[in-house]
Amino acid sequence: MNYTDLWPLIQKDILGCLQADGFLAARPGVLVEPGATAAVLEAKTTAALGAGADGKFGAGYLVLPIESAEDENANLPQGPLKLPITVQLVENVLVNNGPRGTGVPLRVYAARAEKVLKLYTPVGLTQALTPANPVIAHFTQGPDANLRSCRVSFRASEADAAPLIKLPRPQITPNDGQGNGGAHPQTVTIACAGATAIYYTLDNSHPWSGNPAAVRYAGPFVVSAAGMVRARGFAVGPQYLGSDTAAVSFA
């Protein structure tokens, strides 16, 4: 297996794991791509609240992207890494309790997702997930009082016997230190120590080789319109993990 970009594989694997459960399979499960805008997230939430395999509406879940990782032990750099795993469950209370709804409360789906993920071992890693504290966080967001959501959170830890090496976050220039690159046009350079390839995007999508919109960095380029430059670094070899995503906005 190629580990140069493990995170999207884990995200898809989690969706497959949840959909393999007989109870959760009846509900719509949706992947959220890294860098999704508020409008895209709203559309995906609507899809998760749509008709499930059982023809009922009102409850579903979104598998959120993995965009960061940290050393399991801060005192041992380049040691085992831990990655956040998050599934957001959503419910339209009015619809879910109505004649077309499932009639099953959101907390029941959250508890089921927690039980399923406790038994899951991420693709490419050899350790089971560790529950976050709290593992289920309930909250309601947005002006719609009928919309409820909660998050089920775990941590994925790589095997100590074969730790992966995470590349540092790329440096995008110009950058004022707050993620702003100034007004366009600007000549942009990207650097990432240890990377054999850097991918960047200008459409706010996820920069990696599997994204047709991503460009492999070959040297300075001109940003001629307002938007965001996002970049990740990669290296050849199964021991390397792609860097965190760097982003700089241009006005």
In this prediction, residue 236 carries a pLDDT of 86
Using CA atoms, how far apart are residues 92 and 207, in angstroms rounded to an integer? Answer: 33
Judged on CB neighbours under 10 Å (0-12, 13-18, 19+), 146 is: middle
Distances (CA, A) of 240 to 121, 167, 168, 190, 246: 20, 7, 11, 19, 18
Using CA atoms, how far apart are residues 229 and 202, in angstroms rounded to an integer? Answer: 5
Distances (CA, A) of 40 to 32, 34, 62, 100: 9, 11, 12, 25
* pLDDT tens column, 169-223: 999 999 998 899 999 999 999 999 999 999 999 998 989 988 999 999 999 999 9
Q: Using an 8 Å Cβ cutoff, are 58 and 49 in contact?
A: yes
pLDDT means over runs of 10, the chain (251 residues) = 64 92 96 90 96 96 86 62 89 96 96 92 75 87 82 81 75 93 95 95 91 95 95 86 91 92
Q: Which of 124, 81, 69 is nearest to 244 (CA)?
A: 69
In this prediction, residue 1 carries a pLDDT of 37
In this prediction, residue 77 carries a pLDDT of 58
pTM of the model: 0.63
- Per-position b or e across 215-239, b if 16+ CB within 10 A of its CB: eebeeebebeeeebbbbbbbbeeee
In this prediction, residue 18 carries a pLDDT of 94
In this prediction, residue 123 carries a pLDDT of 73
